[in-house]
Amino acid sequence: MSPLDLLAQPAYFAAVAVVMGLVVGSFLNVVIHRLPKMLEREWAAQCTEFFGERAATGPGSNPASQPASQPASPPAPQPKYNLAVPRSACPGCGARITALQNIPVLSWLALRGRCASCGNRISPRYPVVEAISGLAAGFCAYRFGFGPQALSAMLFVWSMIALAVIDYDTQLLPDDITLPLLWAGLLVNLGGGFVDLRSAVIGAVAGYLALWSVYWLFKFATGKEGMGYGDFKLLSAIGAWFGWQMLTLVVLMSSVVGAAVGIGLMVFAGHGRGKPIPFGPYLAIAGVIALFWGRELNRAWLGLV
């Protein structure tokens, strides 16, 4: 039996998908932790460059019309920081995390959630993200079977996990994930992966415009911003993956879940009414539900209507 024939076996494919998802989940932890910091560094560098130029030429002046002057001193170089560099280390003692200490879920359990060098506590979020990524990949393999549709579904779910946790932490939905996800959805549906291309294109446009309209209506009515532009892009990406037919269901599910969680936080956790609650995690949850059970739920929803 060839490797492809073996992968076509449902149980074997699901097992391989779980292992692959665990590994990807470990990488998602790096993305969740580092990508917001990378964006902050990029914004800080842009601000330094902008204000450095204004300081050198004077406010309100045209740099091209100014005489040559002493250039502003460049900012001190920062150490390289991206998704690969530096290597993962304990935030408490700075000890490098070895390969054996970086096995998804198992290493955290073996170390009892503590650093091997200093005993500093390691957040349980890391194995939780890895476990969810692995189990979700296995379910994608089970739900869609061996083929490109299952692999596409895994990519979508992994992106939703990263976006949900980043937005929960920072109230940011990075363009570095949402925009490639949008284009990936259109490419997947170029051959009718989940919906036809026409529905995907309309879904991308309608998804963005739907929340964009809500944003401006709320701003005109209250003078406040009710959500960020990242939410528009995330719903646009979901529309690109599953078509305009799924948008009403996604918005409804995310709104109901978000309202329930928000009320629960205010009642039981003392969450202030004026404190913002990120909407991205609820959109992400609704998007994953739409991936697995969207058609059935849509039929039931339309039947009730």
pLDDT at site 164: 96
Distant-in-sequence, close-in-space partners of 195: CB < 8 Å, separation ≥ 6: 189, 203, 242, 243, 245
Residue 136, in any domain of the structure:
no
Domain-ending residue, one of 82, 110, 138? 110
Residues 13 and 79 grouped into a single domain: yes
From first CA to last CA, the distance across the chain in angstroms is 51
Residues 266 and 211 grouped into a single domain: yes
Residues 165 and 283 grouped into a single domain: yes
Residues 162 and 56 grouped into a single domain: no
pLDDT at site 149: 95
Residue 118, in any domain of the structure:
no
- Dist. CA 204–CA 186, nearest whole Å: 8
Residue 128, in any domain of the structure:
no
Domain-ending residue, one of 52, 87, 110? 110
Residue 271, in any domain of the structure:
yes
Structural domain including 236 reads 147-304
Distant-in-sequence, close-in-space partners of 285: CB < 8 Å, separation ≥ 6: 160, 164, 253, 254, 257
Residue 119, in any domain of the structure:
no
Residues 225 and 278 grouped into a single domain: yes
Residues 171 and 298 grouped into a single domain: yes
Q: Residue 186: which of 198, 170, 174, 178 has the closest Cα?
A: 198
pLDDT at site 54: 63
Domain-ending residue, one of 61, 93, 110? 110
pLDDT at site 65: 55
Residue 8, in any domain of the structure:
yes
Residue 297, in any domain of the structure:
yes
pLDDT at site 248: 92
Residues 294 and 160 grouped into a single domain: yes
pLDDT at site 27: 95
Residue 123, in any domain of the structure:
no
pLDDT at site 56: 61
Residues 26 and 155 grouped into a single domain: no
pLDDT at site 2: 73
pLDDT at site 73: 57
Residues 106 and 153 grouped into a single domain: no
pTM above 0.95, yes or no: no
Residues 172 and 89 grouped into a single domain: no
Q: How many independent structural domains does the chain possess? A: 2
Q: Residue 277: which of 292, 252, 290, 260 has the closest Cα?
A: 260
Residues 281 and 199 grouped into a single domain: yes
Residues 184 and 280 grouped into a single domain: yes
From first to last of its 305 residues, the chain has per-residue pLDDT tens of 677 777 778 889 999 999 999 999 999 999 999 999 999 988 888 887 777 766 666 655 555 555 555 555 555 667 888 888 888 888 778 788 888 888 999 999 998 888 888 888 989 999 999 999 999 999 999 999 999 999 999 999 999 999 999 999 999 999 999 999 999 999 999 989 999 999 999 999 999 999 999 888 888 888 877 778 899 999 999 999 999 999 999 999 998 888 877 777 677 666 656 667 788 999 999 999 999 999 898 888 777 66
pLDDT at site 86: 85
Q: Label residue 248 left, alpha or beta by phi (over 0 means left) and psi (-120 to 50 means alpha).
A: alpha
